[in-house]
Amino acid sequence: MKRYKLFVVLGMLVVGLTLVVRSCHPHRTLPPDVAPAAIGYRLNDSIRNACSESPATARMERSVRNWMARHNIRGATLAVMRNERLVYCKGFGWADAEAQRPVEAGDIFRIASASKLITAIGIMKLCDEGRLTTDALVFGPEGILGPRLFPEIKDKRTEKITVRHLLNHTAGFSRRLGDPMFRSADVLRWTGRTRTLTADEVIAFQLGQRLRDNPGGAAQYSNVGYLILSRVIEEVSGMSYESYIRKHVLYPAGCYDMYIARNSYDERHPREVKYYGHDPGEVIASYDGSGAMRPREYGGNNITGLQGAGAWVCSSAELMRLVASIDGRSRVPDILSARSIAEMKQIRRKGDFGYGWARCQAASGHLVRTGTMSGTCAYIDYRPGGLSFVLITNTSSYRGASFTNSIGRTIRDALARVERWPDERDLFTTVPHEEADRR
């Protein structure tokens, strides 16, 4: 009888300890394709606002909050890096205004077109692995996505499109009918379909139009181009786009909490914020052809379907960590070769884009990547000799991309209000929990 009671007590202790461990990290499960030993310091599980509390940053934070109030931004997250050290990361405002849940440093946000940087890194990783070149043809008999997948091509010039053309937006795609990635309901009507379009169907719709320019001609921004790159990654790797990126790009960079977005609020990822469009009452026809009217940010647009063009969600801290992993400096190990890192930043002609980067200044090394869509804005600003930052919001502005572009100047002005940053701090590697808890 005593032995039975002992087993019962031991069983209760095991269950209790399991519940305690799960309560410390309530939303995290290890990716199935990564061994537990490979998972290191998990940034989002450890970091929190209290870790960055300091009188030195009070004026900066007041400036950020004033900017948010002026533009009715519900919530935002800001990560600041100096010399490859994460010296600051904090959330502002509401992750969910209705639930009165404030933004924490480890919360994750949609990053819209900043996702293209992640896709470009994935392409260059395949190049480093010797499985792909940027000169590889994409369509036609010799293409990666050949006639087996896309047998009908309207314009013969399409067979000359290379991976490089897709990376720097010089494939020559027409936008005469708008952006099919954000006109799902229209494309369904035009093609006579009655259910959600697959990636290949969106691509086929684009290939059914004539090019506006020869491949390699003048650059014109293209979301479809990065959807095609997502499919290139799948065909070359033999894995789903998200699985390849997570296993071969994000995990090696120490980023374990980045995912492809889901379309509805109820399907959101753990710790993901709620999104707010600039016009709360606006609805459009649902992307799925159901005829339902939904907000753009929740069912109007097919956010999941954007894939590598704009579907990633992440924290500002992990996005900053990823940038540090492709900057060619030594403190944070790079996940790409020096050659690939340099090629991503190379601008061959005025008006061209980098690979994933929106702006590249060769002389200073200054790099910028932005993203905007209904319910979110993202801004990555990298400067090798100074402060770099990532700012993401869960609210969009009626000014669209022009508002996102203005974020750089606004946050730079705010950062200038800090007289001294804690250079001894590096939240990438350790979090001062005990010190934070005493505050």
Quick: pLDDT tens for 36-63. 445 567 899 999 999 999 999 999 999 9
Using the predicted structure, report yes or no on whether residue 379 has a pLDDT greater than 60: yes
pLDDT at residue 357, as a whole number: 97
Q: Which of 355, 347, 425, 411 is nearest to 381 (CA)?
A: 411
Q: Which of 313, 308, 320 is nearest to 376 (CA)?
A: 313
pLDDT at residue 40, as a whole number: 63
Phi and psi angles of residue 357, each rounded to the nearest 5 degrees, phi first: -80, 140
102 Cβ neighbours under 8 A, 6+ residues apart: 75, 91, 93, 94, 95
22 Cβ neighbours under 8 A, 6+ residues apart: none
Summarize pLDDT for 167-222 with one digit per residue, the tens.
999 999 998 888 998 988 888 888 888 888 899 999 999 999 999 999 999 999 99
pTM metric for this prediction: 0.89
Average confidence score pLDDT of the chain? 88
Reported for 20-24, long-range contacts at CB under 8 A and 24+ positions apart, including other chains, are none
